[in-house]
Structure 1
């Protein structure tokens, strides 16, 4: 599901699972062979701290990586294991104590790039019975780029860039 999905209040929270068109083996071969992979995650919220409580315990997290996956405590754009999202690194969160946007209708969004923790398998939501609670999530598609086994590739960042090769002389050798 790559569409924005509203989360409805529930005393027990819940877990949302994501499925991919490729099977497990195909998925991990693609991730392993790729030079880089990324997946965008977005959390829209109001009165809903995303990651932690004042004592540091996690409220919500995501599961990612091979097999059943591993609990991940950072959000898109945050440092791995930091319990923070991108607004915390940019120091523009409305709730710096929780390192997220939570008291106003805001968006915590970022791109996950650590291949070892991709793809996002599920979101785990803790207590979502908070008065005034409003939230929604979106997990984008997994995008992988490049082939790490191709070592003789050239990349250009300017339209006027080019490669110059000397004239090929077929009488010497062509194999």
Structure 2
């Protein structure tokens, strides 16, 4: 059983245990409150407000940084890739500048790298140090003799523009090297060749009055086709070997018939190469179709 003593209105109520002290009912301000308890009950304990102290706890360790989100990770990867690409570009430029300083005048074509046992790729050559700066060309070392490769802008098979008159359509060829440099490389090489192909339907090349021609390094119209190693006018490869589809003509396309025909081969007249353009005609009707292909200029060996 609890004994309860009420304090004055200016003091907090208190609950004091029963004692033999006559002053036990005096109020002392905020006090602990105790309850008598039965054996099967645990009494609560309330500490006095004036004795309670708040202790600032120490900050715990900061948690680990979370994994970046998908968008953030993608941006970070892209940024690293861009930086890597820039570094690779700068290294390539530095290597080319260094190579330019190392190129001796004795390397005018790829054939002069033969003894170095290099792998195929782009290399600096100096065809004429007194007239031209060193230039990059593709050197093919997989052949018996190293080949200097000079490319142009007419890649793949190209459809011939429609027009009916002879030589009414003109096509220009733009190379990745100045023409004067290419001519010098050709002059310093033992051999040069360039692949040409003409695919036709009811369109002829030469016959007795040429509808087509290829243009030499000097812009001269040449009236023979790839594979005609003799360079005789109105001849194609089949005319040289004697196996054209119609023996009357020296090119397959000169039969001028509806079934598709083909004339192809290498132009090998070094002093006329590279090919600088084409002239085509006899291609104005709907049933007439023609396509042509031009390969890179390939020069091998050393002159003299």
- With the length of structure 2 as denominator, give the TM-score of the two structures: 0.45
What is the deviation of 1:81? 3.3
Rounded Cα–Cα distance in structure 1 between residues aligned with 2:246 and 2:289: 16
Superposition CA RMSD, Å: 1.6
Rounded Cα–Cα distance in structure 1 between residues aligned with 2:243 and 2:286: 25
Residue among 217, 222, 246 paired with 1:72: 222
Tell me what 2:195 maps to.
40
Against the structure 1 CA distance between its residues 71 and 8, is the aligned structure 2 distance closer, same or farther, given a 3 Å change threshold?
closer
Rounded Cα–Cα distance in structure 2 between residues aligned with 1:141 and 1:17: 14
What is the deviation of 1:131? 5.3
Tell me what 1:158 maps to.
none
Against the structure 1 CA distance between its residues 14 and 132, is the aligned structure 2 distance closer, same or farther, given a 3 Å change threshold?
same
Residue among 21, 28, 31 paired with 2:176: 21
Report the secondary structure of 1:88's partner residue. Answer: helix
Alignment of 1:127-166 (within 5 A): 127-130=282-285, 132-149=287-304
Q: Once the two structures are superposed, what CA deviation does each residue of 1:36-59 show, in whole Å capped at 9, x if it has no partner?
A: 10000000111111222xxx2111
What is the deviation of 1:23? 0.7
Tell me what 2:162 maps to.
9
Of Structure 1 and Structure 2, which has the larger fraction of its residues in strand? 1
Rounded Cα–Cα distance in structure 1 between residues aligned with 2:286 and 2:251: 18
Tell me what 2:245 maps to.
94
Of Structure 1 and Structure 2, which has the larger fraction of its residues in helix? 2
1:61 and 2:61 correspond: no
What is the deviation of 1:127? 2.8
Report the secondary structure of 1:135's partner residue. Answer: strand
Instruction: For CA contacts below 8 A with separation 6 or more, give which structure has more relative contact order.
Output: 1
Task: Report how many residues are paired.
Answer: 144
Rounded Cα–Cα distance in structure 1 between residues aligned with 2:223 and 2:161: 22
Asked whether the equivalents of residues 163 and 281 of structure 2 are also in contact (C-alpha less than 8 Å), the reply is no
Tell me what 1:155 maps to.
none
Rounded Cα–Cα distance in structure 1 between residues aligned with 2:212 and 2:161: 14
Tell me what 1:84 maps to.
235
Rounded Cα–Cα distance in structure 1 between residues aligned with 2:220 and 2:302: 25
Q: Which runs of 5+ in 1 are unaligned?
A: 150-175
Against the structure 1 CA distance between its residues 89 and 123, is the aligned structure 2 distance closer, same or farther, given a 3 Å change threshold?
same
